[in-house]
Copies of this chain bind each other. A is one copy, B any other.
C-alpha cells in the first residue's frame, strides 16, 4: 500500500515565549489540514512526537492532550524516542495507514523548551543518555565533542570543516522565514565563537528552540494530482551510551536505518536530490553524510567545506535546505516532522528561494540521543 503525504506545515521556530503549546499546535494543524484539503473530521488517528513535556512540564498523555485541544475525537498516541520522537511518530503513523486501520493520519511534532531554565533543559535532554553518562555529568555537547575528537583524529577532519557545516546551514536558514536563526555567518565567526566542549564551539551546536510541525498522510490520494509518497523507511537502535559502541566516528543505528530505507525504496544514495539530516552538532552532519552513504568515510568534511552540498553550489544533493537543526532550530519532538515537511515541500517544487531545482527524491534522517535510535525516510513524487 502506498502512503501519500497530503499536507505539511511548520510553525515559526525560535524562542516563542508568548505562544502556548496548544496555540502552536492549533495553528500548524489548521495549516496542514488546509494543505491536505481535509477537515479534522476526516482524521482517523493522531500521532504526537514529543520528548520533554513530561520531564520539563509534568504533562504526559500528549496524544489525548492535543486531540482534545484540537477537537479531534480519534485514537491518539504519543511516541517518544528522544530527539527522534518526531520521525518515530511519523513512522508509526505510516504503519497505521499501511495496516489498513486508518485512512488519514495526522502526525504532529511539538516541543516547547525555552520556557524552562537552560540547566533544566540540559538535564532533561540527558534523559536520552545512558546512566553512566548522566552520573558522570556528561551533556550532549560533551558527548558529541568526543565523537568530533575521534573523527578529527581518525580522518583528519578539521574545525574549519565543522564550521563550514554551520556556515552552510545558516546560509540556507537565511532563505527560510521560519528558521530560528536567519542570519548568514562567516567561517571566521563560527571558528572564533566561544568554546562549548572542545572542539565544538557555539556555532557548532544547534539551539534550544520552540516549534511544531504537522504532516497529514493517507492511503487515499485520489484527490491529489502527483502526491509525494513514502518510498522507504527504516528504524534501528543501538546502545544509549557511547561507551558500549564499537566506534565513535559512525552511528551504527543510522547506517542500519538507512540500509533498510534504501532497500525498501529501491534507490541508492546517489539517487537522492535533497536531504534533511540530523545536525544537532556540526560533526553530526559530517557523520550523517558518511553514514547515509553520500560520501566515503572521512570525506564528508572536505566535501561540505567545498560547498558540494550547498544550495546553488551543489551539482546534485543539497543538504539541510531548512537550515537544519543548527540554524532552523531544534524543538526536539518537532524536528523529525519538520524535516519531512521540508523535503515534501522541496519535492513539490514549492520551496521558493531555497528550492533545489528538479528535486525528485528526498531523504530525512532523524537521530535520538547520540545515536541510540535513528529513523530514515525516503520520499518521491509519484
Q: A residues within 8 Å of B by Cβ? A: 45-46, 51-52, 54-55, 58-65, 67-68, 72-82, 88, 91-92, 95-96, 98-101, 123-124, 126-128, 131, 134, 234-240, 244, 253, 256, 368-369, 372-373
Contacts and interface: CB of A to CB of B under 8 A. Distances in A.
A234 B99 CA distance: 14
A63 B77 contact: no
A124 B126 CA distance: 19
- Majority DSSP secondary structure for residues of A touching B: mixed
Contacts of A128: 60-61
Nearest to A55: B54
A77 B81 contact: yes
Given A101-B98, A237-B72, A373-B76, A60 B64 contact: no
Contact of A64 (B65, B68, B73, B238): B238
Contacts of A82: 60-61, 64
Given A75-B235, A98-B100, A99-B99, A127 B60 contact: yes
Q: Which 8 A-B pairs have the closest CB atoms?
A: A75-B235, A60-B127, A64-B372, A98-B99, A61-B82, A54-B54, A99-B99, A64-B237
A366 B332 CA distance: 29
A256 B253 CA distance: 39
A76 B368 CA distance: 11
7 contacts: A52-B60, A54-B55, A60-B80, A73-B237, A79-B79, A95-B101, A98-B99
Contacts of A54: 52, 54-55, 60, 80, 127
Given A65-B372, A76-B81, A77-B92, 9 more contacts: A51-B60, A52-B54, A59-B127, A60-B80, A64-B369, A68-B244, A78-B80, A79-B79, A96-B99
A199 B187 CA distance: 68
A369 to B, nearest CB: 6
Given A80-B60, A81-B77, A82-B61, A67 B237 contact: yes
Contacts of A63: 80-81, 88, 237, 373
A50 to B, nearest CB: 9
A241 to B, nearest CB: 8
Contact of A237 (B68, B101, B235): B68
